[in-house]
Protein backbone atom coordinates (compact mmCIF):
# COMPACT_ATOMS: atom_id res chain seq x y z
CA UNK A 1 0.00 0.00 0.00
CA UNK A 2 1.51 3.37 -0.93
CA UNK A 3 2.48 5.60 1.95
CA UNK A 4 0.07 8.46 2.49
CA UNK A 5 1.95 11.72 2.12
CA UNK A 6 0.38 14.91 3.35
CA UNK A 7 0.50 17.09 0.26
CA UNK A 8 0.61 20.38 2.13
CA UNK A 9 3.31 19.14 4.50
CA UNK A 10 5.44 18.01 1.56
CA UNK A 11 5.01 21.39 -0.15
CA UNK A 12 6.05 23.21 3.02
CA UNK A 13 9.11 21.02 3.39
CA UNK A 14 10.19 21.84 -0.16
CA UNK A 15 9.52 25.56 0.37
CA UNK A 16 11.51 25.39 3.61
CA UNK A 17 14.44 23.99 1.63
CA UNK A 18 14.06 26.89 -0.82
CA UNK A 19 14.23 29.41 2.02
CA UNK A 20 17.45 27.82 3.28
CA UNK A 21 18.97 28.14 -0.21
CA UNK A 22 17.98 31.85 -0.27
CA UNK A 23 19.42 32.50 3.19
CA UNK A 24 22.69 30.72 2.43
CA UNK A 25 23.36 31.44 -1.27
CA UNK A 26 20.91 34.14 -2.37
CA UNK A 27 17.69 34.06 -4.38
CA UNK A 28 19.61 33.85 -7.68
CA UNK A 29 20.73 30.34 -6.75
CA UNK A 30 17.19 29.01 -6.45
CA UNK A 31 16.33 26.38 -9.06
CA UNK A 32 14.36 23.15 -9.07
CA UNK A 33 17.73 21.37 -8.99
CA UNK A 34 19.28 23.26 -6.03
CA UNK A 35 16.08 23.11 -3.99
CA UNK A 36 15.69 19.39 -4.64
CA UNK A 37 19.28 18.82 -3.48
CA UNK A 38 18.68 20.87 -0.34
CA UNK A 39 15.46 18.97 0.42
CA UNK A 40 17.18 15.63 -0.23
CA UNK A 41 14.69 14.60 -2.91
CA UNK A 42 14.75 14.33 -6.70
CA UNK A 43 14.07 17.27 -9.05
CA UNK A 44 11.13 15.27 -10.34
CA UNK A 45 9.65 15.10 -6.83
CA UNK A 46 9.92 18.89 -6.55
CA UNK A 47 8.24 19.36 -9.93
CA UNK A 48 5.41 17.08 -8.90
CA UNK A 49 4.39 19.73 -6.36
CA UNK A 50 5.74 22.82 -8.11
CA UNK A 51 5.79 22.33 -11.90
CA UNK A 52 7.86 25.50 -12.40
CA UNK A 53 10.38 27.51 -10.35
CA UNK A 54 8.01 30.48 -10.33
CA UNK A 55 5.32 28.54 -8.43
CA UNK A 56 7.93 27.33 -5.98
CA UNK A 57 9.14 30.90 -5.32
CA UNK A 58 5.60 32.14 -4.91
CA UNK A 59 4.71 29.53 -2.30
CA UNK A 60 7.94 30.21 -0.38
CA UNK A 61 7.22 33.94 -0.57
CA UNK A 62 3.79 33.32 1.00
CA UNK A 63 5.57 31.49 3.82
CA UNK A 64 7.79 34.51 4.61
CA UNK A 65 4.82 36.34 6.15
CA UNK A 66 4.56 33.48 8.65
CA UNK A 67 8.21 33.84 9.66
CA UNK A 68 7.66 37.21 11.31
CA UNK A 69 4.41 36.10 12.94
CA UNK A 70 6.17 33.09 14.51
CA UNK A 71 8.88 35.40 15.84
CA UNK A 72 6.28 37.71 17.38
CA UNK A 73 4.46 34.78 18.96
CA UNK A 74 7.70 33.76 20.69
CA UNK A 75 7.89 37.09 22.54
CA UNK A 76 7.03 36.80 26.23
CA UNK A 77 5.97 40.34 26.98
CA UNK A 78 6.92 42.00 30.23
CA UNK A 79 6.82 45.53 31.59
CA UNK A 80 4.57 48.39 30.52
CA UNK A 81 2.82 48.35 27.15
CA UNK A 82 5.51 50.73 25.85
CA UNK A 83 8.14 48.15 26.86
CA UNK A 84 6.10 45.40 25.23
CA UNK A 85 5.93 47.40 22.01
CA UNK A 86 9.70 47.83 22.08
CA UNK A 87 10.13 44.07 22.60
CA UNK A 88 8.10 43.43 19.46
CA UNK A 89 10.31 45.91 17.61
CA UNK A 90 13.43 44.07 18.81
CA UNK A 91 11.87 40.74 17.82
CA UNK A 92 11.40 42.09 14.28
CA UNK A 93 15.07 42.99 13.92
CA UNK A 94 18.07 40.87 12.86
CA UNK A 95 19.69 40.79 16.31
CA UNK A 96 20.69 37.13 16.21
CA UNK A 97 21.92 34.78 13.53
CA UNK A 98 18.58 33.09 12.93
CA UNK A 99 16.80 36.42 12.59
CA UNK A 100 19.48 37.59 10.14
CA UNK A 101 18.90 34.56 7.95
CA UNK A 102 15.16 35.23 8.04
CA UNK A 103 15.56 38.91 7.20
CA UNK A 104 17.90 38.12 4.32
CA UNK A 105 15.12 35.92 2.96
CA UNK A 106 12.51 38.64 3.42
CA UNK A 107 14.73 41.23 1.69
CA UNK A 108 15.38 38.93 -1.25
CA UNK A 109 11.65 38.44 -1.74
CA UNK A 110 10.91 42.12 -1.14
CA UNK A 111 13.40 43.10 -3.86
CA UNK A 112 11.84 40.56 -6.21
CA UNK A 113 8.38 41.97 -5.46
CA UNK A 114 9.44 45.35 -6.85
CA UNK A 115 8.95 43.96 -10.37
CA UNK A 116 5.81 41.92 -9.58
CA UNK A 117 2.59 43.83 -8.75
CA UNK A 118 0.74 40.84 -7.25
CA UNK A 119 3.65 40.23 -4.89
CA UNK A 120 3.55 43.87 -3.84
CA UNK A 121 -0.13 43.43 -2.96
CA UNK A 122 0.84 40.65 -0.54
CA UNK A 123 3.55 42.80 1.04
CA UNK A 124 1.00 45.56 1.55
CA UNK A 125 -1.30 43.02 3.20
CA UNK A 126 1.53 41.99 5.55
CA UNK A 127 2.15 45.66 6.41
CA UNK A 128 -1.56 46.08 7.09
CA UNK A 129 -1.41 43.24 9.64
CA UNK A 130 1.67 44.75 11.32
CA UNK A 131 -0.02 48.17 11.35
CA UNK A 132 -3.17 46.77 12.94
CA UNK A 133 -1.29 44.90 15.69
CA UNK A 134 0.88 47.95 16.39
CA UNK A 135 -2.00 50.43 16.49
CA UNK A 136 -3.79 48.21 18.99
CA UNK A 137 -0.74 48.16 21.30
CA UNK A 138 -0.24 51.92 20.88
CA UNK A 139 -3.84 52.75 21.75
CA UNK A 140 -3.78 50.55 24.84
CA UNK A 141 -0.45 52.10 25.86
CA UNK A 142 -1.95 55.56 25.41
CA UNK A 143 -4.92 54.57 27.60
CA UNK A 144 -2.48 53.45 30.31
CA UNK A 145 -0.44 56.65 30.03
CA UNK A 146 2.85 54.94 29.06
CA UNK A 147 2.70 56.05 25.42
CA UNK A 148 2.43 59.73 24.50
CA UNK A 149 -1.02 61.05 23.68
CA UNK A 150 -0.02 64.34 22.03
CA UNK A 151 0.56 62.44 18.77
CA UNK A 152 -2.16 60.35 17.15
CA UNK A 153 -1.98 56.56 17.40
CA UNK A 154 -1.83 56.26 13.59
CA UNK A 155 1.26 58.47 13.41
CA UNK A 156 2.95 56.66 16.32
CA UNK A 157 2.28 53.40 14.50
CA UNK A 158 4.01 54.77 11.38
CA UNK A 159 6.94 55.78 13.60
CA UNK A 160 7.26 52.26 15.00
CA UNK A 161 7.07 50.62 11.56
CA UNK A 162 9.70 53.12 10.36
CA UNK A 163 12.03 52.10 13.17
CA UNK A 164 11.78 48.42 12.27
CA UNK A 165 12.41 48.98 8.56
CA UNK A 166 14.93 51.71 9.27
CA UNK A 167 17.29 49.70 11.43
CA UNK A 168 16.83 46.33 9.73
CA UNK A 169 19.23 46.74 6.80
CA UNK A 170 22.04 48.31 8.80
CA UNK A 171 21.80 45.63 11.48
CA UNK A 172 21.81 42.96 8.79
CA UNK A 173 24.92 44.36 7.14
CA UNK A 174 26.67 45.39 10.39
CA UNK A 175 30.22 44.13 10.85
CA UNK A 176 29.91 42.80 14.39
CA UNK A 177 27.56 42.09 17.27
CA UNK A 178 28.96 45.20 18.97
CA UNK A 179 27.86 47.35 16.02
CA UNK A 180 24.43 45.75 16.12
CA UNK A 181 24.17 46.47 19.86
CA UNK A 182 25.15 50.09 19.21
CA UNK A 183 22.41 50.38 16.59
CA UNK A 184 19.89 48.82 18.98
CA UNK A 185 20.79 51.40 21.64
CA UNK A 186 20.33 54.12 19.06
CA UNK A 187 16.94 52.70 18.11
CA UNK A 188 15.92 52.62 21.79
CA UNK A 189 16.74 56.32 22.09
CA UNK A 190 14.68 57.13 18.99
CA UNK A 191 11.85 54.97 20.40
CA UNK A 192 11.90 56.93 23.66
CA UNK A 193 11.72 60.28 21.89
CA UNK A 194 9.07 59.22 19.38
CA UNK A 195 6.78 57.00 21.42
CA UNK A 196 7.11 57.53 25.19
CA UNK A 197 5.47 60.51 26.90
CA UNK A 198 7.80 63.54 26.75
CA UNK A 199 9.11 65.06 29.95
CA UNK A 200 7.22 68.23 30.75
Measuring CA to CA, how many Å separate 198 from each of 154, 191, 193? 18, 11, 7
Q: 79 — alpha (psi -120 to 50), left (phi > 0) or beta?
A: left
* Phi, psi for 149 (deg, rounded to 5): -115, 0
The Cα 185–Cα 188 span in angstroms is 5
* Residues recorded for the chain: 200
Stretch 104-163 residues interacting with its own copies (CB under 8 A)? 104, 107-108, 110-116, 120-121, 123-124, 127, 151, 155, 158-159, 161-163
Q: 25 — alpha (psi -120 to 50), left (phi > 0) or beta?
A: alpha
Closer residue to its own copies (CB): 144 or 192: 192
Reduce the DSSP state of residue 85 to 3 states and report it: helix
Cβ 198 to its own copies shortest distance, Å: 8
Would you count residue 45 as binding its own copies (CB under 8 A)? no
Would you count residue 175 as binding its own copies (CB under 8 A)? yes
Those residues with Cβ within 8 angstroms of residue 62's Cβ, 6 or more apart along the chain or in another chain = 122
Sole window of 3-11, 39-47, 76-84, 187-195 interacting with its own copies (rule: CB under 8 A): 187-195
- Pick from 172, 184, 196, 197 the residue near its own copies by CB under 8 A: 172
Cβ 147 to its own copies shortest distance, Å: 14
Look at residues 98, 97, 95 and name the one whose alpha carbon lies nearest to residue 70.
Answer: 98
Cβ 154 to its own copies shortest distance, Å: 8
Closer residue to its own copies (CB): 73 or 200: 200
Would you count residue 165 as binding its own copies (CB under 8 A)? yes
H helices within 74-176, ranges in order? 81-91, 97-113, 117-144, 153-173
Would you count residue 188 as binding its own copies (CB under 8 A)? no
Cβ 9 to its own copies shortest distance, Å: 27
Size of the site for its own copies (CB under 8 A): 50
Interface residues with its own copies (CB under 8 A) are 23-28, 30, 100, 103-104, 107-108, 110-116, 120-121, 123-124, 127, 151, 155, 158-159, 161-170, 172-175, 183, 186-187, 189-190, 193-194, 198
Amino acid sequence: MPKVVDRDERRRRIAGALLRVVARDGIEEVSVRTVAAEAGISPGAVQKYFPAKEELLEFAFEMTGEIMVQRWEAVEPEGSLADVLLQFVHASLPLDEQARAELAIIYAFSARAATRPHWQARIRADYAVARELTTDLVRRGQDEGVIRTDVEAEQLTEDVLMMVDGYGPRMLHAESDADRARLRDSLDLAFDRLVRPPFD
